[in-house]
Structure 1
Amino acid sequence: MNRLITLPHLAAGTDLAFLALRLGVGAFLVWGVWDNITSAEHMATFVKFLDQFGFPMPELLAPFDVWLQLGIGVLFILGLATRWAGLACALNFVVAIVMVDHLQGWRGSFGSQCLVLIGLVLATHGPGRFSVDRVLERR
């Protein structure tokens, strides 16, 4: 009866679940900033957005944040430096919540909250078996 409640056999899919998590979140992060990377107009809009919410040096912070998110996304997809990428993801989206998303309430900040939690899970658990990190660990 305990096995029916706890479903221990699902643990066999942990590495695939972490791969799916990394690929999905990584692709989302890359997609989310791609327009800012490929369009000066979109980047300028992001600079104005950061300025509107009182971020310091938005002209520097906007490209930094865009490239940081792109880097985190790529690292998640590859499973490379995953723990560092997870920490950076968590910190980045804590800042987003504190500076902007908290104004939207619980529901409005939920996406950023999820990215903080996913970042923390990947930072503490690691990327799983299907990753560059795992290959590097074996060497």
Structure 2
Amino acid sequence: MKADWLLLTPLARFGDLGLLLLRWITGAFLIYQSYDNIFSAAGMDEFEKFLTQFGFPAPELTAPLCVWAQFLCGILFILGLLTRWAGLLTTFVFIVAVWMVHWPQDFPGWWPALILVFLGILFATAGAGRYSADALIERRRSHDRHPA
């Protein structure tokens, strides 16, 4: 009993709620940082110039791919839908960002992109948790395989 309080094991029952909140804030951030590039031609042009500045190949192609990946992953995280796929894609996008953009910066400059790499890894490995569209799909699949 004392070990439970020392290790705060009673908090484990809120793990799915923690995943839900983390998915929501991560998704909201990804949508926030990408929506203006999607809904504004000027925003996309600015992002293409940014990628050009850092030596990205074919910025006219990579800019929309990057922006749409972030935007769609943000939506998927919020819904908890295809969360593992969204996690892998987010990990890839932000590894590239760290490598191509943030590498010469100091550690605080890496931090936002680096956190998104590790959030992507977390969502890819842990999944979305109980409060998600993925969980609903899995319950349906399980029910279809083993009807009562």
The separation in 2 between residues aligned to 1:103 and 1:38, in whole angstroms, is 31
Q: What is the aligned partner in structure 1 of residue 15 from structure 2?
A: 14
Q: What is the aligned partner in structure 2 of residue 84 from structure 1?
A: 85
| Secondary structure of the corresponding residue to residue 24 of structure 2 | helix
Q: What is the aligned partner in structure 2 of residue 45 from structure 1?
A: 46
The separation in 1 between residues aligned to 2:138 and 2:112, in whole angstroms, is 32
The separation in 2 between residues aligned to 1:26 and 1:133, in whole angstroms, is 15
Residue identity opposite 1:15 in structure 2: D
Residue identity opposite 1:31 in structure 2: Y
Q: CA deviation at 1:127?
A: 0.3
Task: Give 5+ residue unaligned stretches, structure 1.
Answer: none
Q: What is the aligned partner in structure 2 of residue 125 from structure 1?
A: 126
Task: Give 5+ residue unaligned stretches, structure 2.
Answer: 141-148
The separation in 1 between residues aligned to 2:98 and 2:6, in whole angstroms, is 36
Residue identity opposite 1:105 in structure 2: D
Q: CA deviation at 1:37?
A: 1.0
| Secondary structure of the corresponding residue to residue 104 of structure 1 | coil
The separation in 1 between residues aligned to 2:95 and 2:83, in whole angstroms, is 18
Q: CA deviation at 1:27?
A: 0.6
Residue identity opposite 1:92 in structure 2: V
Residue identity opposite 2:87 in structure 1: G
Between the aligned residues of both structures, percent identity stands at 49
1:46-96, Cα deviation, whole Å (9 max, x unpaired)? 001101111000001101110010010000000000001001111110000
Equivalences for residues 101-112 of structure 1 within 5 A: 101-112=102-113
Q: What is the aligned partner in structure 2 of residue 114 from structure 1?
A: 115
Q: CA deviation at 1:105?
A: 1.5
Residue identity opposite 2:30 in structure 1: L
| Secondary structure of the corresponding residue to residue 59 of structure 1 | helix
TM-score by length of 1: 0.97
The separation in 2 between residues aligned to 1:4 and 1:129, in whole angstroms, is 25
Q: What is the aligned partner in structure 1 of residue 4 from structure 2?
A: 3
The separation in 1 between residues aligned to 2:109 and 2:59, in whole angstroms, is 23
The separation in 2 between residues aligned to 1:96 and 1:34, in whole angstroms, is 18
The separation in 1 between residues aligned to 2:104 and 2:49, in whole angstroms, is 18
Q: What is the aligned partner in structure 2 of residue 66 from structure 1?
A: 67
RMSD: 0.7
